[in-house]
Amino acid sequence: MSNFINLLIAGLATGAIYAIIAIGFTLLWQTSQTINFAQGEFVMVPAFFILAVLNLGVPFWLAILAGFAISAVVLGVLFKKMLVDPMLRHGVLPLAIATMALSIAMKESVKEFYSAEAQPFPSIIPAGSIDIFGVAVSLQSVGVLVAAIAGVIVLNLLLNGTSLGHQMQATAQNPSVARIIGIPVERMIMLTFLINAALVTFAALLVTPIYLAKFSSGEVLGLSAFIAAIVGGFNQVRGAIVGGLLLGVVDNLAAAYVSTQYRGAFPLLLLIVIILFRPEGLVGRTEERKV
């Protein structure tokens, strides 16, 4: 039983990180029709921003703040202005291909300027264990889970409990109507890109101490988050949350109770089942588009 609880919490913690990354996917898709295949690399790069600032000898908390700021500029503003805006007018597919190219460029750039070797990354959560129902559970797993849930709650409050959030949702649902009723659509879209930059930096803070900072670490994360977004429902933030958590738990339990060798197959099996029987995702809604 203690083994199961440990696995469940570890799975939820990993899944919560997938969920944060997947939320970014869905937000960008909803507001700007951007399928960002570089989303995994967007999680990898902020870790190196933070490490670069840390190497200047500044305290960790200041490096984190600097990491958020640099990510907002590079992964938010520059990404939108220099890649999304010019490519989107040619259609969704060219933009998707451009983000694939961007992912390669980001990996190779980190490899070139930093090194191909993994780097240690400090954790914001202390080591140790806590007692849950008489079971010693890793404090880091619990901390990651709590931090991720807190992040999701804050985002939900922003989207559902503020005027700004309502304007963003209106922009996502129908930009033309939103523009007619006076919502600054362009500003809302930019805000979405900034939120995505903050989310990936937050995910980087949580996952990099476990996965280590490495140019290739975004590959697994990007794929997992993409699967999570599809499984949960690409057009719903809550879908990304459900998909992420489910994927993390399935991955861990399958590896422990079925097979470690075939662990990589289970998320893909889940994806196939969802695409076959519920293509809109577990909590997604059916969407119709004019072609």
Partner 1 sequence: MSANPLAKGGPIKTREEKIVTIMRLSAMAVAILLASPAVFAEDIKLANVAELSGSGATVGTNWKNGIDMAVDEINAKGGVLSRKLVVTHADSQSNPGVARAQVQKALDDEPYVLLGPGYSGSVKVTASLAEQAEIPEIMGGEAAELTKQGYKYLFRTSFGQQSTMPKVAKYIADDLKAKSVALMWVNNDFGKGGRDVIFAELQKHTVKIVADLSSEAGQADFAADVAKVKAANPDVVFVYLNEEESARALKELKRQGVNVPLMGETTLIGQKVIDLAGEAANGARGHVGLTTDAPIESIKAFRERFVKRYNYVPDHNGIKGYLSVYVVKAVTEKMGKVDSKEFAKTLHGMTISAASEPGILMDVTYSDTGDIDRQGFLVEVVNGKQVIKQVLPKLN
Considering only residues 208 to 227 of the shown chain, the ones binding partner 1 according to CB under 8 A are: 209-212, 214-217, 220
Q: How far is the CB of 53 from partner 1 (least distance, A)?
A: 19
Please, which residue, 6 or 30, has the CB nearer to partner 1? 6
Token code pair at residue 29:
């898709």
Distance CA 229, CA 240 (A): 5
Encoded one letter per residue, x for contact with partner 1 by CB under 8 A and - for no contact, window 90-129 reads: ---------------------x---xxxxxx------x-x
Are the beta carbons of 200 and 21 closer than 8 angstroms?
yes
Which amino acid would we find at residue 201? T
Q: What is the DSSP letter of 213?
A: B
C-alpha dist (Å) from residue 87 to 33, 74, 78, 162, 191: 11, 17, 13, 31, 19
CB of 164 to partner 1, least distance (A): 35
Least Å distance, CB 263 to partner 1, is 7
Judged by CB under 8 A, how many residues of this single chain contact partner 1?
37
State which residue, 127 or 275, has the beta carbon closest to partner 1: 127
CB nearer partner 1, residue 136 or residue 157: 136
Instruction: Tell me the CA end-to-end span of the chain in Å, nearest whole number.
Output: 52
User: What's 71's DSSP letter?
Assistant: H
Alpha-carbon span 233 to 244, nearest angstrom: 11
State which of residues 140, 171, 192, 236 lies at the interface with partner 1 (CB under 8 A): 140
Element (H, E) at 263: none
Task: Collapse the DSSP code of 91 into the 3-class scheme (helix H, G, I; strand E, B; otherwise coil) and give the result.
Answer: coil
Question: Based on CB atoms, which residue is closest to partner 1, 136 or 154?
Answer: 136
Q: Nearest distance from residue 213's CB to partner 1, in Å?
A: 10
Rounded CA separation 234/250 (Å): 19
Four-point Cα dihedral 88, 235, 232, 267, nearest 10? -10
Binding to partner 1 (CB under 8 A) within 3-62 occurs at: 3, 6-7, 10-11, 14
| Residues contributing to the site for partner 1 (CB under 8 A) | 3, 6-7, 10-11, 14, 111, 115-120, 127, 129, 136, 138, 140-141, 209-212, 214-217, 220, 251-253, 255-256, 260-261, 263-264
